[in-house]
Each structure stands twice: as structure tokens, then as C-alpha cells.
Amino acid sequence: MEKFDAIVVGAGPAGATAAYLLAKAGMQVIVIERGETPGSKNVSGALLFSQVYSEIFPKFWESAPLERAIVGHAITFLGEQTSVNLDYRDLDEGHVPHNAYSVLRARFDPWMAQQAEDAGAMLMPGFTVDKLLQENGRVVGIEAGGDALMADVVVVAEGTRSGLLKEAGLRTDEYHASDVSIGVKDVIALPEDVITNRFQCLNADEGVAYTCVGHTGGVEGGGFLYTNKDTLSVGVVAKIDAVYKSKLQPHAILNEFKAHPFISRLIAGGEIVEYSAQAIHRGGVHLIGQLYGDGYVVVGSAARLLLNNVMTLRGMDVAVASAAAAAKAILAAREMGDYSHTALAGYEQNFKATNVYKDMVTFKDTYPLLENERLFHVYPELAGAVLGDMFTVGAKPSKKGLKALRDDMRGKVSLWQMLMDMNQIGKGLVR
Amino acid sequence: MKIVACIKYSLTLSELKVDPATRELRLATTPQRVGTIDRNVLEAAVVLKPEGSTVHGLTLAPAGAREAFREAIAMGLDDLTIVDSTNWAAGGPMATAAVLAAAIQKMGDVDLVVCGEASDDGVTYQVPPRLAERLGWPLLAYARNIALAGATLTADRDLDIGMQSVACDLPLVLTVTQETNTPRRPTLMDAVKAKKKPVVVWQPEADLGLSAEALQAAGGVTRIAQEGIVIARKEQLFQGDDMKALANQLLDALLAEHVVAE
């Protein structure tokens, strides 16, 4: 029977990072990926934040297939016929790496997997791991299509729909429908120069990222629009219980978002070249799953490691950071020749020392915001109405801001309610 | 015995798109893979393989595509030879046959060559007969129920008019159809073992002595004209609750378009 030092299940950012670091340290690593190629089975924004990547893959921006450097971030509130846009641009052109890059996962994930292969890991795409093999309560390998493979340690990096641990009876931490969102995304093709001009970029290497609140079919969720080289990634992430309650099909929510005049003019003339949808965990420090046990570690989305702070939804860099923390613990365990849960406990300590984890703690109070319906239905509309009142010179006398706000709030939200919400927003995002 | 399985890195036709304005085929953005028929080729070669024999894969493909052959190797090849087409100037079935023949001769002592009846993308049906001609071997095309006894191969040829049972002495060129067999799905262990199988890359000129001029002389073509068809959908939608009325509307529309006759 074939035996490896480590088996990595899944060749996404988490799996590829773990495989890369373990192989680089001289371990015999096999990566088993369900898709025909890495990146073919996931749904992702996909916005890559540079910091964590550059720590693991120095100067990755020189060789990785990136789309555009994100030089502008915007938060946009969409009312029925209005948009209020908070647009941030970093106008310093020279510095690399940029804070974030847009990527297409079908191109980027193979590059990451290639780094692992170049370091000596064996990549096996096109095979689905059916179960974890256990001996005396300890994970000792995997089974795929009837073939068994053994290893000292198994890295579970199978992504958001991770089912291996549950099947093995190792997952004790159940989650609820309210912890799950559904992401739907179109990739829309437009000529490179049209994108550059439409989004006011200097050239085809620059791009922007929009996060949108409101106009998502009355369902709590948010929209996003990222610029790639010659495509746009446009999608909606919505609470799955709210989607269920609304009786709307997920693609109908995306269509409504795309039909909003603010979005429709940004995607005008484009051709849909890809559609995808996937259920994702909402993330958050309170929902982190089990990270390790006897003979195994869980990294990335499989351990529900995601960070949503309304402004950004981070999955990839959280995945990479967790995989790096796990790899460090595995290498320490190898020194001791012991892969028990006590030996692998270092993973949790390592992860808790990362900035990614600290960010998760920082934004832990953001999560109640995602439950607040008014944030999605009332305030985007209200913001548009108030600014509309202030900018419009009409038949009626003009009002100052507060008066306009009080008038526009009438019947929608009480002042008390709004102050409470402001406090919640403040707690989640500001202080 | 030495068996060669000729396989093709083909365009995935289901993904082929036509530029609506120019009617050009968007070949550059069409994904490529080892063809569907080539899986039947590999299956036939691997099943036929007698004890102590070897099965060698042979393909004309860009050397950069070697990863795409992983599954083909895992199906049971002992090794794979890629004749690098990265700087391929000439094209067409005549040139392909010339390259494959030269490679098979260089491999030496080959007893049996297995090909698909036609490739997934080119579908010319020309390469196997031209290859047999160049090698000076018999061609046994559209084979089913293939069996090997010593140096004699028997098979049923699947012809339009019926089945023809034949026996033929090796060496020969055999072609298979999608009905010939059901290709196996390699297991994870097959794939792990395939990782250790050698992949050899030959250059047409340096390794096979085939210069661009030689291929031109062999009948290579430098330009293939092809134009896509654009179908404008009418996208008529009949809506309502009265199914009978809707059916009548549909029928009227089909009659007006002469799709059905009165």
C-alpha cells in the first residue's frame, strides 16, 4: 500500500498552501482534488488580498496569473432608483504589491497548485476522496474510488461543503441555516479597454471593487462587482434562510441586482460567459469549526474560516493563513514523530497569533449587522432619498439635511430604532 | 510485443464558440483535452496487450500540454512520447501521418498501431489510412471484438452494410470506434503509478529529421479556411394559462416558418 507523509484533500488556496509548505520542508505530499483541474469546482469573488500571500509566496505578483490590481474600493447603497456611493481610491500608482488583486480562480488556483508541485508535492486532480480512514479513533489515511492511501497526517482542505469529517463521525460542531449564505456569480465578458475606461482606470492593470448593499430582492445580502482583465465578476451573497423565505431563485436575486440602473450601466454590452453558485458559510470568529484532531487538521473554508465585515468578504487569505499555521504545526509534530491531537494543537495557537485571526476577533460584532433587515431594505433607500432631497432644486423649498432625513424616515424607521442601528453599526465597524 | 496507441490533444468541440461578427472560430480560447475517441484507443491497446508486452502512447501536441495526458497514461500506458507541435508550421492529416510514421519508425520493432477512426475535432478519417500507407502496413479499420492470437489479429469490421470478420497478420494499423469498447476510469492508484511513467518529448526536426520544408513536401497545409455558422434565435415566447390556445399559437408559428407542413 502506498504511504505518504501527508495527504491533502483539496487543491484550493488552503490545500495548495499546506502542500507547498510541507513539500518544501521535505515531506512526501499528495494532493487529491475533486475537479479536473484545481479551481474548476469552486465559486469565488474572487478578490485576493496580498498581505498573507506575499508572506508565503514572496513576489507572487510577478508570476501569478492576476487580473487587475484593485486600486479602488467602493461601497454603494442601492435604493430602488438611487445609488449612494462611497468611493475610495489609492492614487499612489507606484507601489507593489497592491492591497488586493482580482483573480479568476480557474487560472489562479492551478498556479498555486503548481507552486506546490514545483516544491515536490504530487497533484492528483479528478479524484474525489470518499472517506477518511481511521484506526483506533485516529485518522490514518483516505479512501478514494476504492483505493486506500495512508499518511501520517491528513490535511482536510475540501472547502466550504466539507463532508469528510462528518462522515467520519469527527465533526461535533453542527451549524444552522442562519450561518449559511448562498453566493451566485456571473462572469461577464467586455473588451479590456471598455472596462478600463468605464471604471476610470489608468490602464488594463488597474481595477476596482464594488461592494453593494440593497436591491437584492428584498433578501438580506450584498452584491459585488470586481473588474478582471476582460471580464467582470458580478455576484450576490445572500442569507440562505432569507432566500428560502423569499421563495426567490438565487439567480433571480442576481438578476434583480444586475437590473439596477447603477449596475446595469456598468455591465452594459457584456456577454455572460460563466455562471456559478455555491452555499458558503458566513464565517466569523464565533463559527470557526474544529481545527484538528488525532492525525488530521482542517484548514480554510472546510473549517468555516471566513471573514465578512460587510465591506469585504475574505476567504482566500484566511484559508492561506490557516493552512500556513497548520503546516507549521505539522512540521513541529514531525520533529516529535507524534501526530496526535496534542501534538497538532500548535495549529490553533499558531492561527490565533495571525493577523487574520485578530481581524476576525476585531470584526466579531459585525455579524449581528448581517441579520439587521433594515440595513438592506431601509437605509440604502433612505440614503438615496436624503441626498436626493439635498441635491434637488425643485418646486418645494429646500431642506437642511436633518429635516430631510426626518421627513424621509417617516413611516419607515423610528428615530429610536435608527439610533439603535447606528450603535450596532458603530460597534460592528467603527469603534 | 510493442503496441503504439496514437492519441490526439483535441479541441473540446462543445466549448467551441463562433465570433458572431467575423464568423471566425474562437480556436485560441477553446479548451483542449485528450479526445473522447482516444479513450477508446487507449482501452483497446491496453486490453489487447499480451503478457510481457508494452503499450506506448504517441501524440503530436504542444509539449506544454503534457499534464493533459496524465489520465491517458494512468489508463495503462508504459510511457508517452510527445512530438512537440509548439512551433508547428504545417498542418493537416498528411503532415500528421508523416510525423507519426517517422516517430513509429524511430521507436522501432512496433507490431501494432491503434488509432481512433477519426479525431474529435478534425474528423477527417485520413490519418490512420495515410499512416498505414507510409508504414506499408495493412489497415484494419472500424474494428470491434478485437482478439490477438500470436501474431494474428482478428476483428469484426463495423461497416455500413454489416459486419465483416477478418484476420490479419501483424504488423498492422488498427482503428477503433466509440462502440468498440467502454473505456476504463483510472483509479487513484493508477494515477499515482502513472506519475512515475516516463514522458518523452521529441522535436520534429531534431529528433525525426522532419523540417518544415519536408512536412510541406509531405502535403502539409499552412492555412485552413474555416467559417462558423451563426444561428439567430427567434426567441419567441408564448405565455398564458390556456394550454390549448398556446399549443395553437405554437403550431401557427411553426406553420408560418414552414417547420411543419399543413
**B191 interface with A at CB cutoff 8 Å:** yes
DSSP 8-state symbol, A279: E
3-state secondary structure (DSSP) of residue A25: coil
Question: Least CB-CB distance to B195: which of A122, A145, A146?
Answer: A122
pTM summary value = 0.85
Identify the closest residue of chain B to A129 by CA–CA distance.
B188
Contacts of A229 in chain B (CB under 8 A): none
> Of the candidates B71, B185, B189, which has its C-beta nearest A2's C-beta?
B189
Query: What's residue A68's pLDDT?
Result: 94
Searching chain B, which residue's CA lies closest to the CA of residue A4?
A: B192
State the DSSP code for A430: I
**Sequential pLDDT tens for chain B (262 residues):** 999 999 999 999 888 888 888 888 888 888 899 999 999 999 999 999 988 999 999 999 999 999 899 999 999 999 999 999 987 766 788 999 999 999 999 999 999 999 999 999 989 999 999 999 999 999 999 999 999 999 999 999 999 899 999 999 999 999 999 999 999 999 999 999 999 999 999 999 999 998 888 887 777 666 667 788 888 888 888 888 999 999 999 999 999 988 888 7
Residue A410: its pLDDT value, please?
A: 83
* Distance to chain B for A273, nearest Cα, Å: 11
B188 touches chain A (CB under 8 A): yes
Dmax over CA atoms of chain B, in Å, equals 73
Query: What's the average pLDDT block by block, 10 residues per block, for chain A (431 residues)?
Result: 91 96 97 92 84 92 93 90 88 79 92 96 94 94 93 94 86 78 93 94 92 85 92 92 89 92 94 89 83 95 85 87 97 95 96 93 82 82 85 80 82 83 80 73
Residue B89: per-residue pLDDT: 61
How far is residue B19's CA from residue B7's CA, in Å, rounded to a whole number?
29
B195 touches chain A (CB under 8 A): yes
Q: Which of A33, A124, A143 to mutate to test the interface with B (most CBs of B within 10 A)?
A: A124
Q: Is B196's Cβ below 8 Å from some Cβ in A?
A: no
pLDDT, tens digit, for every residue of A135-146? 998 999 999 988
The sign of the torsion formed by the CA atoms of A88, A92, A98, A101 equals: positive
Question: What's the confidence (pLDDT) of residue A196?
Answer: 95
8 A C-beta contact, residue B197 and residue B77: yes
Cα separation, A237 vs A235, in Å, equals 7
CB pairs under 8 A between A and B: 25
Query: How far away is chain B from the Cα of A425, in angstroms, using its nearest Cα?
Result: 46
Cβ-based burial of A330 (10 A; exposed 0-12, middle 13-18, buried ≥19): buried
Q: N- to C-terminal Cα distance for chain A?
A: 56
From A33, which residue of chain B is nearest by alpha-carbon distance? B188
Q: Give ipTM to 2 decimals.
A: 0.77
Closest Cα in chain B to A145: B187
Q: Which site among A147, A149, A229 would you substitute to test the B interface, given the most B Cβ atoms closer than 10 Å to its Cβ? A: A147
C-alpha cell at A244: 428560502
Q: Are the CB atoms for B135 and B99 separated by under 8 Å?
A: no
CB contact under 8 A, B188 and A122: no
What's the pLDDT score for residue A204? 92
Compute the distance between CA of residue B135 and CA of residue B121 in angstroms, rounded to an integer: 24
Measure in Å the smallest separation between the Cα of A130 and chain B Cα atoms. 12
> Distance of alpha carbon A34 from its chain centroid, rounded?
20
HSE-up of residue B221 (Cα within 13 Å, Cβ side): 6
Whether the CB of B19 is below 8 Å from some CB of chain A: the reply is: no
Q: How far is CA A235 from CA A66, A276, A279, B52, B110, in A?
A: 19, 9, 13, 57, 56
Q: Give residue ranges of A with CB < 8 Å to any B CB.
A: 2, 30, 32, 122, 124-127, 144-147, 149
Which residues have CB under 8 Å from A251's CB, separation 6+? A184, A275, A277
Nearest by CB to A149, from B70, B188, B195: name it.
B188
Domains of chain A: 3-65+103-173+289-362 (3.50.50.60), 178-281 (3.30.9.90), 367-430 (no CATH)
Distance between CA atoms of residues A100 and A208, nearest Å: 10
